[in-house]
Amino acid sequence: MRECLVIYVDAALDKNGRAGCGLAVFIRGRTLYTESFGLAHGGGSAQLEAHVCAAALDLAASRWPLHRVVVRTDCAPVVRSRMPSSETFRMAVHEVRERCRRGHRVVRYVSRKANPAHELAREGLKSLVKQQVSKPMAAAA
């Protein structure tokens, strides 16, 4: 088993169903990989955060299969919920827990201030908003 990867994840959701997601992968305190992107999302913010955690675990399994992985999120319900309230959130949390069972992988809570993916999620949301604003302008031209 190789060294431990720490993957910070975050999601930002606006009132119009637009979301931004960010993740930052570290090994030995150094940045290995970062990503931010935007998408449309019809559910709640905790559900989205759970989906981002699951995607981070999938990414780690495919790109760094021999490393132990700690995913850190600032969404306490994803980490601490024993019995998630809605069916969709329950399913999203179940996805995360199933991926953790597959190997040396855990999901832990981190404060928003200590989460480097927070700004990446905001950038992802901004990029989606810019994309959507420029599409109608291009169509009008």
Residue 77 lies in a domain: yes
Nearest to 104 by CA among 61, 54, 53, 43: 61
1 belongs to a structural domain: no
* Domain of residue 53, residue span: 6-140
- Give the CATH number, domain containing residue 11: 3.30.420.10
Q: What is the pLDDT of residues 57-74, one digit of tens each?
A: 999 999 999 999 999 999
Q: Which residue has the tokens 């901004």?
A: 126
**Number of structural domains the chain divides into:** 1
Domain presence at residue 39: yes
pLDDT digits (tens, 9 = 90+) for 87-98: 888 888 888 988
pTM of the model: 0.85
